[in-house]
Structure 1
Amino acid sequence: MTQWITEFILFFKDLSYAGIVLALSFEFVPAELVLPLAGYWVYLGDMKLILTILAGTLGGTFGPLTLYALGRYGGRPAIDKYGKYFFIRPHHLEASDRFFEKYGNGVAFYGRFIPGVRTLISIPCGIAKMNVFAFSLYTFLAMLPITSIYVYLGFKLGAQWEHVDQILKPYIIPAGTLFLVGFGLYVLSKRMRRRQA
Structure 2
Amino acid sequence: MSDWVVRLIEQSGYLGIGFLMFLETIFPPIPSEVIMPVAGVAAGQGKLSYALVVLSGTSGAMLGNIVWYLAARALGLDRLHPFIDKWGRWLTITWPEVQRADRWFRSHGLPFVLLGRLVPTVRSLVSVPAGLLHMQFRRFLVASILGTGAWTALLALAGFKMGENYARIDDVLGPISTGIMAVLVIGYFWRVWTHRNYEPPKA
TM-score higher than 0.5: yes
Task: Tell me the SS of whatever aligns to 1:47.
Answer: coil
**Bigger CA drift: 13-22 or 68-77?**
68-77
Task: Tell me the SS of whatever aligns to 2:163.
Answer: helix
Deviations 1:41-61 (A, max 9, x none): 112321011111121222222
Alignment coverage as a number of residue pairs: 154
1:105 paired with 2:109, answer yes
Counterpart in the other structure of 2:59: 58
Counterparts of 1:118 and 1:100, CA distance in 2: 20
Match of 1:139 among 136, 140, 144: 144
Counterparts of 1:118 and 1:101, CA distance in 2: 22
In structure 1, the gaps of 5 or more residues are 79-89, 92-96, 174-197
1:126 paired with 2:131, answer yes
Give the 3 Å change call, closer, same or farther, for CA 8–167 of structure 1 in structure 2.
Answer: closer
Counterpart in the other structure of 2:13: 16
In structure 2, the gaps of 5 or more residues are 81-90, 93-97, 180-203
Task: Tell me the SS of whatever aligns to 2:122.
Answer: coil
Counterparts of 2:76 and 2:9, CA distance in 1: 32
Deviation of 1:9 (Å): 6.2
Counterparts of 2:57 and 2:175, CA distance in 1: 23
Counterparts of 1:147 and 1:100, CA distance in 2: 29
Give the 3 Å change call, closer, same or farther, for CA 6–150 of structure 1 in structure 2.
Answer: same
Give matches, 1:21-100, under 5 Å: 21-26=18-23, 27=25, 28=27, 29-75=30-76
Give the 3 Å change call, closer, same or farther, for CA 169–132 of structure 1 in structure 2.
Answer: same
Task: Tell me the SS of whatever aligns to 2:48.
Answer: coil
Deviations 1:99-128 (A, max 9, x none): 876453222212112344322111011111
Residue identity matched to 1:21:
G
Is the contact between residue 53 and residue 148 of structure 1 (CA under 8 Å) also seen in structure 2?
Answer: yes
C-alpha RMSD of matched pairs (Å): 3.1
Percent of matched pairs sharing the same residue: 26
Counterparts of 1:32 and 1:62, CA distance in 2: 18
Q: TM-score, normalised by structure 2?
A: 0.63
Q: TM-score, normalised by structure 1?
A: 0.65
